[in-house]
Structure 1
Amino acid sequence: MARQTEYNARHLSVLEGLEAVRKRPGMYIGSTDSRGLMHCLWEIIDNSVDEALAGYGQSISITLYADGSVEVEDNGRGIPVDIEPRTGLSGVEVVFTKLHAGGKFGGGSYAASGGLHGVGASVVNALSSRLDVQVFRGGKTYQMSFRRGEPGRFADTGSNPKPNATFSPFEDSSSLDVVGKAKRGYTGTRVRYWADEQIFTPDAKFNYQELENRARQTAYLVPGLRIAIRDERRVPGTPGEHGPVEEVFHYDGGISEFVDHLANLNPVTDIWRLQGSDTFTERVPVLGENGHTEMKDLERVCEVDVALRWDVGYDTTMRSFVNIIATPKGGTHQSGFEQALLKVFRKAVDSNARKLKVGNDKIDKDDVMAGLTAVLTVRLSEPQFEGQTKEVLGTPAAKQIVNKVVSDELGKLLNSSKRQDKQQTTQLLEKIVAEMKSRISARTHKENQRRKNALETSTMPAKLADCRTNDAQNSELFIVEGDSALGTAKLARSSDFQALLPIRGKILNVQKASVGDMLNNAECAALIQVVGGGAGRSFDLDATRYGKVILMTDADVDGAHIRTLLLTLFFRYMRPMVEAGRVYAAVPPLHRIEVMTPGSGENEIIYTYTEAELTAVLQKLDAEGRKYKDDIQRYKGLGEMDADQLSETTMDPRYRTLRRVNIAEADQAEQIFELLMGSDVAPRKQFIISGAEELGREQIDA
């Protein structure tokens, strides 16, 4: 291939207007898969939300059509339809065809909004094979259509528009058509568009669950706003797979209700609301009457609103927003919030150091954030985002203002003289100190922990029967129910790679207990020490001493309960073990059938694991005319087996069956654990009552 040496000005390309968007869509929407498709939809929805945020309009409806298009309608003021003087185009055409054009520059039309760069609607238009916009103003309905960003008219004007209909672009000048009347006094905007298949990948689809979550989130952030979603696609796996479905989100409680929705564990505190505002000066370019921009110092107002609650456990749920736009990667406002939390709680812990028995140790951010559910919102004019996707806030002043508001308001709560506030503050400080001690203990354990040889096992619990291998990945830890089963298991195991740890009775239900209670419980502490990875957010999967942890409990109701308690401990404090697929449940048999072999041969032994399997095996033996001993052994516990039986059925990798524990749906697992193991009895009682009719007396192993 010949190398090109000439390079001059004629080799440079200049992309004009929306052509740049179509050439490099990823720069504006992040990607061209489902994520980018959803981002386009957010741009249109956020424009409607900005109207509601400014106090105009209280309703937004979103419709997903079967033909792949989507429609967003609001009852805001409606896009301006008069002529913009500098371009000579209608306001509608300016908004949908000109990059960096809109009503959100200079703070005149919107005090606080999510759309700031003026490229949202025009980018969506450029990446759509067809876009129709209708504006309701002054008793009239105005309409304009676009194909891949070019204004014109489609031939189909009926109720069933198609993106591939005949299109006639405007030649000399464009026009905004009046297509009907609007209800008296009604204003608003309706946008329907078809994403361009030339731009987006074939598998790009609108995600209903994501849309539902975003609509719910927005309804929480803008109290009184009604958002309706209608899905007519009949997509399998969605609520509308059997027919059109509509959901409505409307909340008046604001972000306090949002925190209550996000936090579903046992509360340590009530939902605390921290609110305040401050001003700052920002030097920004302002468009003058002569059409030129000049730098001016403007005074901005930054409003801060935080709702938070601490729960038992260590998971942190943090949601931050700027003018209702989510900032999943944080930014200056979230940094200020976290700094304020650490500063306030360090001061509070130092003031109560003797009572809390802190010593010289210092809490850090992770200790304070453990178990926290918080929603942080700030509102300010023209915030600085990093990129069009608006995932990170960059306005420097927001950090100091959020820090000050949170420090002042949270300090008042922690120093409140009210009895309820004092009680919750004490519980919260004890929880934070317990988290600190757990973190320090885990760090010390990690630093000192080495694979124990025969001379070093004294540092482990005395009841641990460890294995000899130094290969952690190929070793197994059996957690055995009771000392009686331990004796048999010792004879049945392969001591080269199988370790045993007996659990006496039913361990602590850590879903209801605090971190301190869990660490003080002998069985829980021994199990965490033996596994070797620590506990909570500091858990280190690479530091664990065993490749598999196998829960070996009796095949009865009590065994199932003990297994559930153990799984609760792993799920709550050693979750990476479960997520990595390294936690298993052993499957011991329920019955032993001895089939008689004619002659002097050894009788055949068949094990069954359920009553249904036993019935099927016996019927098969009867049909084949084979005889078996009538005294079929029914195992009530692991201790009833001898070592050979336990080995060949439950422990020997060549013959055993293991059930791997996984949490593919973490949120659903969280809800189930809270329902079955949490401190709130009423939902659990209702769950038992509602399912009682499906359970017969003969199914209960009493």
Structure 2
Amino acid sequence: MPLVTASPSATSSSEYTARHLQVLEGLEAVRKRPGMYIGSTDGRGLMHCVWEIIDNAVDEALADRGNHVLVTLYADGSVSIADQGAGIPVDIEPRTGLTGVEVVFTKLHAGGKFGGGSYAASGGLHGVGASVVNAVSARLDVEVDRGGKTYAMSFRRGEPGIFADPKSGPSPDSPFTPFTAGSELRVVGTVRRGVTGTRIRYWTDPQIFLKDAKFDYDRLISRARQTSFLVPGLALVVRDERGLPDTPGADGPHEEVFLHEGGISEFTEFLAPDPSVTDVWRLEGESTFTETVPVLDAEGHMTPTEVERTCGVDIAVRWGTGYDQRLKSFVNVIDTPHGGTHVAGFEQALLKVFRKQLEVNARRLKVGGDKVEKDDIMAGLTAVVTVRLAEPQFEGQTKEVLGTSAVRQIVSKVVERELTERLTSTKREFKTQSLQVQEKVVSEMKARIHARVQKETLRRKTALESSSLPGKLKDCRSNDTEHTELFIVEGDSALGTGMAARNSEFQALLPIRGKILNVQKASIGDMLKNAECASIIQVVGAGSGRTFDLSLARYGKVILMTDADVDGAHIRTLLLTLFFRYMRPLVEAGRVFAAVPPLHRIETAAQGRAKGEVVYTYSEQQMRQVMSQLAKKGRTVKQPQRYKGLGEMDAHQLAETTMDPRHRMLRRVTLTDAENSERVFDLLMGSDVAPRKEFIVDSARELDRERIDA
């Protein structure tokens, strides 16, 4: 379809006539408005071009034509995608008089995925992917193995022709001769009978893309891994020959192979961030629907025709102990990050099924009169939702939202039938898991209601409202959240010293009794029942888990003040686990700190005119260095005082070293990589002992024995 734009020379309505209109034909429209087709001209648009070609190669695997795709990043900035599919048709297309290869790469909305029967379900749908990539490329080469021969054609910014390449290899800067009288699909070699496939290599056009646009290797790896999960048996190989620093291929060509036979069940396990409550459940089914679409008749006219479609539904779900949810949705292996009708149908069925089951088991599960909501069910859920159908309707070329309305009802019915069967199964393993997941949903519902009530009743700060806070909290007077600080201290002895050392205007103290519950292992219900955990959540005042609202936090800083020994480190780790699991936005905002109390107090005697001085040190090594330096100066040093706990410090010492903002040292707890942090917390604090034991054994050689506090 031509793209019509208005010329900027039209300055007024009287001067604006038809001659000011520009009609952009074919690939010229793509080069004029690339963002309309690939989303942007930065790195995201660059990667979208790669996805378009990879998706076409994967479509061949979906059609059972080939099971191997090779993606190669070259040092000259080009990228190639090779598949073992049927190969692009090389014969003449009758309406245009061009070969199939030239039609695919130069004509918008041309391809074999408009209902001709060649592809039952595919990711390439609009017939613009290959031609758009060609349009925004400085050079594109295509080779097709078909019928015992290898055919080749090259393009420069969408125009077919021939490059005069030197012996050093192909380059977009090589002399180019466009075809004039007619195009030529060259035969450049032979292959064995039965060998088919397509190889595409292209160089992006610097006239189109921003200078800093680069191929993102990590995103490419992630996409390749994801696709291999979605197409079991497909081997996706990514080869990096760029030799870029700080990449796996920095020291030479690097290759990664992705092949997963377990499909979306394996994908769900890979995505899951927490220990399991249920196994991975597969919910599968299919149904048909009719829709009216324009179909090209024998005379070349588009005629509205009612056609019957088949929609296949394959969903994997798995509930874990956490509250984070991970839902990935796909249509014909195309990622739909913003969902669509298939996700809406899935969520609709989840809510309907669980409400019905909890109503049946209300007395057993102590549901009460409250109704479960969608978020209660989705907490801790990892799900992969996939549907396959011919010619799905997407919102735009970037295919981020599915719009085919009939899919919603089909997915809903399949999920309702299959999930009900699992939740009501009399098989022992399913029965146990069904009860566990229903108990978890009820716990999430109660946690949500508890958090809502807490938010409604806990406000800062009137005499009436402050009475609802724990009695052991020693609150501050200020209402200014920007400057207030909550110190979580270990034990009553530290509380007593802290009370005398603090500035009561803006510093609050909350004592805890030793080691709190390890919430990485415990359920959310057990966590809420634990007095220490409940007190901390109540005092912070912003809720917990998915209901946590950072804007309601009662303090600007939360400071963990524990003893400078092994037990203190353990308590600090348990507290950090609580904040990471249930108050993560506080950590992400950089509002959680660890106090750094000193280990030693070194006091020198007065000598002549030199007054005695006090030096605090924070490690054995630092203490020895300070002692050595003082000895060299001839200073007399009293016996260093070794602090075993905060309670051993005088109030003025604690204030000077740990609590007074003018002198203290704090360590900010940061979260740079949530996934890696999740794995570390699960390794160190989770219920699976074997990986932790292996970690301790492997790390024993690196342990500095001097750091053992014994």
Q: Would you say same fold, with TM above 0.5?
A: yes
Conserved? CA contact 1:107–1:382, under 8 Å: no
Cα offset, 1:186, TM superposition:
1.0
Q: Does 1:634 align with 2:639?
A: no
Q: Does 1:198 align with 2:198?
A: no
For 2:3, the equivalent position in structure 1 comes to none
Cα offset, 1:621, TM superposition:
2.1
Cα offset, 1:425, TM superposition:
1.1
**SS in structure 2 opposite 1:359?**
coil
Cα offset, 1:453, TM superposition:
3.5
Conserved? CA contact 1:107–1:381, under 8 Å: no
For 2:363, the equivalent position in structure 1 comes to 354
For 2:409, the equivalent position in structure 1 comes to 400
Matching residue within 625, 628, 653 for 2:634: 625
Conserved? CA contact 2:457–2:465, under 8 Å: no
Cα offset, 1:423, TM superposition:
1.1
Deviates more, 1:148-157 or 1:33-42: 148-157
Equivalent residue runs for 1:427-506 within 5 Å = 427-454=436-463, 456-506=465-515
Cα offset, 1:43, TM superposition:
0.2
Equivalent residue runs for 1:221-236 within 5 Å = 221-236=230-245
Matching residue within 651, 656, 674 for 1:648: 656
Matching residue within 227, 232, 236 for 1:218: 227
Give the letter aligned to residue 652 of structure 1: D
Give the letter aligned to residue 685 of structure 2: M
For 1:669, the equivalent position in structure 2 comes to 677
**Structure 2: distance between partners of 1:296 and 1:184:** 39
For 2:692, the equivalent position in structure 1 comes to 684
Cα offset, 1:602, TM superposition:
4.2
Q: Does 1:532 align with 2:541?
A: yes
Aligned residues: 701
Cα offset, 1:512, TM superposition:
1.0
For 1:79, the equivalent position in structure 2 comes to 88
Give the letter aligned to residue 650 of structure 1: T
**Structure 1: distance between partners of 2:671 and 2:513:** 27
Cα offset, 1:158, TM superposition:
4.7
Conserved? CA contact 2:166–2:174, under 8 Å: no
For 1:273, the equivalent position in structure 2 comes to 282
Matching residue within 176, 195, 218 for 1:209: 218
**Structure 2: distance between partners of 1:698 and 1:584:** 26
**Structure 1: distance between partners of 2:108 and 2:622:** 69
**SS in structure 2 opposite 1:636?**
coil
How large is the Cα RMSD of the aligned pairs? Answer: 1.3
**SS in structure 1 opposite 2:24?**
coil
Q: Does 1:421 align with 2:434?
A: no
Give the letter aligned to residue 495 of structure 2: L
**SS in structure 2 opposite 1:474?**
coil
The 1:566–1:652 alpha-carbon spacing in structure 2 relative to 1, beyond 3 Å, is same
Cα offset, 1:138, TM superposition:
1.2
Q: Residues 548-581 of structure 1, C-alpha deviation per residue, up to 9 Å, x if partnerless? A: 1000011111111111111111111111100111
Conserved? CA contact 1:453–1:468, under 8 Å: no
For 2:6, the equivalent position in structure 1 comes to none
Cα offset, 1:307, TM superposition:
0.6
Q: Residues 157-213 of structure 1, C-alpha deviation per residue, up to 9 Å, x if partnerless? A: 656211111100001101100111123321000000001011111111111111111
For 1:339, the equivalent position in structure 2 comes to 348
**Structure 2: distance between partners of 1:36 and 1:443:** 42
**Structure 2: distance between partners of 1:64 and 1:610:** 49
Deviates more, 1:283-292 or 1:10-19: 283-292
Q: Residues 59-79 of structure 1, C-alpha deviation per residue, up to 9 Å, x if partnerless? A: 000000011100100000000
Q: Residues 55-98 of structure 1, C-alpha deviation per residue, up to 9 Å, x if partnerless? A: 10000000000111001000000000001000000000000000
Cα offset, 1:288, TM superposition:
1.2
**Structure 1: distance between partners of 2:83 and 2:309:** 28
**Structure 2: distance between partners of 1:156 and 1:368:** 61
**SS in structure 2 opposite 1:473?**
coil
Conserved? CA contact 1:239–1:245, under 8 Å: yes
For 2:596, the equivalent position in structure 1 comes to 587
Gapped regions of structure 1 (runs ≥ 5): none
Conserved? CA contact 2:459–2:465, under 8 Å: no
Deviates more, 1:677-686 or 1:371-380: 677-686
**Structure 2: distance between partners of 1:455 and 1:18:** 71
Conserved? CA contact 2:10–2:16, under 8 Å: no
**Structure 1: distance between partners of 2:133 and 2:624:** 64
For 2:151, the equivalent position in structure 1 comes to 142
The 1:128–1:473 alpha-carbon spacing in structure 2 relative to 1, beyond 3 Å, is same
Cα offset, 1:628, TM superposition:
1.7
Percent identity, aligned pairs only, is: 69
Cα offset, 1:626, TM superposition:
2.8
**SS in structure 1 opposite 2:16?**
coil
Q: Does 1:39 align with 2:55?
A: no
The 1:158–1:189 alpha-carbon spacing in structure 2 relative to 1, beyond 3 Å, is farther
Q: Residues 328-352 of structure 1, C-alpha deviation per residue, up to 9 Å, x if partnerless? A: 0000000000010010001111111
Cα offset, 1:355, TM superposition:
1.4
For 2:298, the equivalent position in structure 1 comes to 289
Deviates more, 1:228-237 or 1:338-347: 228-237
Q: Does 1:507 align with 2:516?
A: yes
Cα offset, 1:601, TM superposition:
5.8
Cα offset, 1:151, TM superposition:
0.3
Matching residue within 245, 249, 265 for 2:258: 249
Conserved? CA contact 1:593–1:632, under 8 Å: yes
For 2:565, the equivalent position in structure 1 comes to 556
Q: Residues 274-328 of structure 1, C-alpha deviation per residue, up to 9 Å, x if partnerless? A: 1000000011111112111101111100000011100011000100000000000
For 2:107, the equivalent position in structure 1 comes to 98
Give the letter aligned to residue 521 of structure 2: K
Give the letter aligned to residue 250 of structure 1: L
Conserved? CA contact 1:129–1:194, under 8 Å: yes
**Structure 2: distance between partners of 1:30 and 1:455:** 55
Conserved? CA contact 1:323–1:378, under 8 Å: yes
Conserved? CA contact 2:10–2:20, under 8 Å: no
For 2:338, the equivalent position in structure 1 comes to 329
Q: Does 1:612 align with 2:621?
A: yes
Q: Does 1:543 align with 2:555?
A: no
Cα offset, 1:426, TM superposition:
1.1
**Structure 2: distance between partners of 1:615 and 1:222:** 62
**Structure 1: distance between partners of 2:665 and 2:31:** 55
The 1:456–1:377 alpha-carbon spacing in structure 2 relative to 1, beyond 3 Å, is closer
Cα offset, 1:695, TM superposition:
1.2
**Structure 2: distance between partners of 1:625 and 1:14:** 91
For 1:660, the equivalent position in structure 2 comes to 668
**SS in structure 1 opposite 2:256?**
strand
Deviates more, 1:463-472 or 1:41-50: 463-472
Cα offset, 1:611, TM superposition:
1.9
For 2:270, the equivalent position in structure 1 comes to 261
Matching residue within 49, 52, 57 for 2:61: 52
Conserved? CA contact 2:460–2:466, under 8 Å: no
Cα offset, 1:455, TM superposition:
5.4
Gapped regions of structure 2 (runs ≥ 5): 1-8
Cα offset, 1:619, TM superposition:
2.5
**Structure 2: distance between partners of 1:508 and 1:107:** 62
Q: Residues 337-381 of structure 1, C-alpha deviation per residue, up to 9 Å, x if partnerless? A: 001001000111111111111111001010000000000100000
**SS in structure 1 opposite 2:257?**
strand
Cα offset, 1:489, TM superposition:
0.4
Deviates more, 1:25-34 or 1:689-698: 689-698
Equivalent residue runs for 1:118-157 within 5 Å = 118-156=127-165
Q: Does 1:521 align with 2:520?
A: no
**Structure 1: distance between partners of 2:471 and 2:116:** 70
**SS in structure 2 opposite 1:669?**
helix
**SS in structure 2 opposite 1:472?**
coil
Matching residue within 15, 19, 27 for 1:10: 19
Conserved? CA contact 1:22–1:199, under 8 Å: yes
**Structure 1: distance between partners of 2:634 and 2:148:** 89
Matching residue within 164, 170, 173 for 1:164: 173
